[in-house]
Amino acid sequence: MKVALGQMAVSKDVQENLDCCLSLIEQATRAGAQLLVLPEGVLARNVADPELVLKSAQALDGDFVTRLSAATRDTDLTVVFCIHTPAGPGKVWNTLVVLHDGQVLAHYHKLHLYDAFSVKESTYVQPGQDVPALIEVAGLKVGLMTCYDLRFPELARRLSIDGAQVLLAPSAWLKGPLKEHHWRVLTTARALENTAYVVAVGECGERNIGQSLVVDPLGVIVAQAAETPTLLLVDLDRERLAYARRILPVLDNRRFQTPQLAVS
């Protein structure tokens, strides 16, 4: 599978972000990618106005998703990204969206909200209540996660037990002491402990680290971006995946039951 990682800096202007996403879709399509992963929160962001997540939120049938969806029509490209969608008065969902051939193929409401390091995502965001179903891209089974989900091994393990061979994590990983180290350790751990590819795409810009990367099923970082906008193209190797699961059968050797989502 050829994967494109679309690293971008999200601005406060929705149209500017839409144009950037459309450009990345066009570039990925021309490059023959079968999957394009974009960051978390690509609709709009303004550090000086945290309520922008409420004011800019759009439904899945709104203009932003509709325009991006149309760009995938009659192509082989699947596109994954996150936006904020309305969830009632004063609240939004942090929603991962999957597009393919002009349709919303799937969506997932972020389970783990980033209430850490002096940030409180739950002020405006409603947590999800469901483990996301797998999707299939180019014959590979793909699990969906979002950013802070990477710090919770139960979700990655559950998705892998369900059959995921690739784990996606659109992200907006904040800068801060040791945060780049955490990013590399956590993405590597989720890949190695589940013998799965991890494709983690981070927003870059004034507050986020960028550094989008692909980790292979034996914990090797096979490609990584720097801190600026870019489109990174990576081939995921089915033989490497099969080899890893043959020599390191952790999913077969496990002694614990399948993780279940706690009732909130």
Active-site residue set? 40, 110, 147
Phi and psi angles of residue 151, each rounded to the nearest 5 degrees, phi first: -80, 0
Give the C-alpha distances (Å, rounded to integers) separating 211 from 75, 170, 263. Answer: 28, 12, 34
What sections of 50-199 are H helices per DSSP?
52-55, 63-71, 153-161, 179-194
Rounded to whole angstroms, what are the CA distances from 199 to 53, 75, 238? 25, 21, 15
**Could you tell me if 210 and 202 are in contact, meaning their C-beta atoms sit under 8 angstroms apart?**
yes
- The answer to whether the CB of 219 falls within 8 A of the CB of 167 is no
Where is 21: in which H helix or E strand? helix 14-30
Total Cβ atoms within 10 A of residue 134: 18
